[in-house]
Amino acid sequence: MRFESQLLKGIAPVVVLEILSRGPMYGYQLSQAIQERSRDILTLGRSTLYPLLYNLEAKGLIKGKWQTTDSGRKRRYYSITSRGKLELARQKAQLEELARGLNYVFGFGPMPA
Amino acid sequence: MQDPQETRLPDCAIAFIDQLIKRIRYRNKVRQEVRQELVGHFEDELGQCPDEQARQEKARQLIQEFGDPKIVASLIRRAKKRCRPVWYRLTIRTIQNAGIFILYFVICMLPLLVGRSTIRIDFVDYINRLVRTSPDESLNARPYYQKAVEILSKDRGWPSLLPSVTWPGDMNDARRMAVAEVLAASGDALEALRQACSRPYYWMEYKLELNQPQGPSAFAAAITSYAQEDFTSYRVLATRMALQALWSAYKGDFNGAMEDAIVLTRFGMHLEGKGALVEQLVGMGIERLGNTCIFTILNNTQVPAPILRKTRQTLEQYYKANERIINLDIEKTLYYEYIQSSFTDDGKGNGRVLWRGLVFVPTRSRWGLVARLITFRLPDRKTIVRTIDTLFDALQRLSEIEPYCAEYEAQLRVISQISQSNIMVGVSAPAIKQTMRLSLRHKTVRRAIVAVLAALEYRQEHGAYPPDLDQLVKAGYLETVPTDPYTGRPFVYRRTESNFLLYSAGEDQKDDGGIPGTDNRGRPRMWADHGDWIFWPWIG
């Protein structure tokens, strides 16, 4: 499903932070993880992925680090910072509230655990 | 350098990445990092493809998903810029702001640099017309002075031989002999000087030599230096005449002595009241020398009454004809000349200030000038001309009134206000004010010398000094009681046991009971800024 870009734009940073809170990842790995975790509902466009990562890095919410893998390839791994964790918690709380509100309005049914 | 893993990517992917990286237009190091990351991403995506065809297909699909490389590059550039450290961003911002300010400043300066002044008036010609008193060149004393200087110049070594004018009776024999020799050798020069002083007028023709630097300040410098050419010789000539006057008196020729002293007064007056300020200052110096001679002679000898009367009457006549000691027409003209070459000319008497005219911008500090520059609050030509006119009107008025007048302080305030807020005026106004101060002293001496001559004459004819200055008027020696310019009241006159005391309250305008000011060794000093100025008994 394709979401309106403005809608996704607001959610994408928090999604990235959430995924990275589980461990450092490089760009491709991250986009795959989002897709998998969201069961193919959320897909971060390629054109959005890297600018988004660089923006989060600029804000100090994540940090990138070049690492050489066993196969000899250099990859830039992104990990969440402590500031990013705080931001994630804050955003998550807001999203939960938003979801509850939307649920009341639209009657989506009980929220999944 | 190309990453080895790039070589495994399809050409279309490499071309896309290249295009995107190129469009990022940012630091090379950052672009290389982004390239490496994108190449890795493509490689990961294509790594799942079973064959080359699928890889090609997937690459095209990915390129499509990335979309317009221009937009992506723009987003990446923006994000990367945000990644810069704070100090770096601050530095850049500061440099940018400084650049903007400099650019703005340059824009503000442009009007100063663009445009030209128009030389409509030949101020050298104007000045020459100002100072030329008569069309008849034969009435001009200057050629005679030059002749005297020429004769004098053949006699080298003189100035160092007798540096100061001293009463011959106070010299030792050797020095007196030297003076007699020098005076014998300078008879022709002194005779030429006497002839020069018999001319009614003095003027010189100013020239701006072609080899002199051009430009506004050069103009003023040239006029002044040109006028200054002969002044050293004039001073030497005057000193020799002063010594001649003293020598004649020492030898008992009182008539010749007083006549030569008056020659000095006349010599000084020729240079006063017109021309460049420096000329007028030299003139005042020469007249002062003449006054010193008269006082020294009176102090050391008994000049007969008829000679005293003749001297007094001649001096009174000269003083009346030359009341104006200071004339600032040339100084004002120099300002006008500077304005002419520092402002544009709209043909209606107005114009815009040019670079070199910034010295006219009213400001109390350098930052004030910058503030005026960046807010485009620069004065126009008419405003500056008005300011200069106001300044010179105040200076003119100041030369006409005396310090005891209430208006005197008001005029001084006007001059101070203008000179404090205008760099150009601030540079020259103190010198002009000082000259005015000297001219006022001059005025005081003139009045005092006449009174002293009259009192001495009275004593010879009546056997005693007059009881007061009114008596000199009643007895017909003076037309009016001489007033002290500093107090507006008559000079203080008191008979003493065998002499009399005549003094002015001086610049402090305070009557100290006839106690003179002193120098730093405690010796009585004429013209001290404290104490009274004693004219008789003469303290030198």
DSSP A68-112: E-TTS-EEEEEEE-HHHHHHHHHHHHHHHHHHHHHHHHH---SPP
pLDDT value at position B526? 85
B329 has a chain A CB within 8 A of its CB:
no
- Residue of B324, B495, B510, B330 lying closest to B404 (CA atoms): B510
Burial letters B382-412, b for 16+ CB under 10 A, else e: eebbebbeebbebbebbbeebbeeeebeebb
User: Distance (Å) from the C-alpha of residue B41 to the closest C-alpha of chain A?
Assistant: 5
Please name the residues between 39 and 68 in chain A that touch chain B, using a CB distance below 8 Å.
Answer: 45-48, 50-55, 57-59, 66
User: Distance (Å) from the C-alpha of residue A58 to the closest C-alpha of chain B?
Assistant: 4
- pLDDT level of residue A113 (50, 70, 90 thresholds): very low
User: Distance (Å) from the C-alpha of residue B37 to the closest C-alpha of chain A?
Assistant: 7
Per CB-CB distance under 8 Å, the chain A contacts of B83 are: 54, 57-58
A29 has a chain B CB within 8 A of its CB:
yes
- Residue of B56, B95, B318, B97 lying closest to B200 (CA atoms): B318
pLDDT value at position B1? 46
User: Distance (Å) from the C-alpha of residue A86 to the closest C-alpha of chain B?
Assistant: 20
- ipTM over 0.85 threshold: yes
- Residue of B396, B430, B438 lying closest to B285 (CA atoms): B438
pLDDT value at position A40? 82
A71 has a chain B CB within 8 A of its CB:
no
B65 has a chain A CB within 8 A of its CB:
yes
Please name the residues between 42 and 61 in chain B that touch chain A, using a CB distance below 8 Å.
Answer: 43-45
Per CB-CB distance under 8 Å, the chain A contacts of B33 are: 66, 76
Each residue's pLDDT expressed in tens, for chain B with a length of 540 residues: 455 555 578 999 999 999 999 999 988 999 999 999 999 999 888 988 888 899 999 999 999 988 899 999 999 999 988 888 888 889 989 999 999 999 999 998 898 999 888 888 888 888 888 888 888 989 999 999 999 988 887 765 555 455 567 899 999 998 888 888 888 888 999 999 999 999 999 998 887 665 555 555 566 666 666 666 678 889 889 999 999 999 999 999 999 999 999 999 999 999 999 888 888 999 999 999 999 999 999 999 999 999 999 999 999 999 999 988 999 998 898 889 889 989 999 989 899 999 888 888 888 777 888 888 888 889 999 999 999 999 999 998 988 899 999 899 999 899 888 888 888 888 888 888 888 889 999 999 999 999 999 999 999 999 999 999 999 999 999 999 999 999 999 999 999 988 999 999 999 999 999 999 888 888 888 888 889 999 999 887
Per-residue pLDDT, averaged over A58-82, amounts to: 91
Cross-chain CB nearest to B40 (options A47, A53, A73): A73
Q: What domains can you pick out in chain A, each with its CATH number?
A: 5-97 (1.10.10.10)
DSSP string, B401-431: S-TTSHHHHHHHHHHHHHHHHBHHHHHHHHH
Q: Do B72 and A47 touch (CB under 8 A)?
A: yes
User: Which chain B residue's Cα is nearest to A49?
Assistant: B66
d(CA B407, CA B398): 9
User: Which chain A residue's Cα is nearest to B6?
Assistant: A73
Q: Do A54 and B44 touch (CB under 8 A)?
A: no
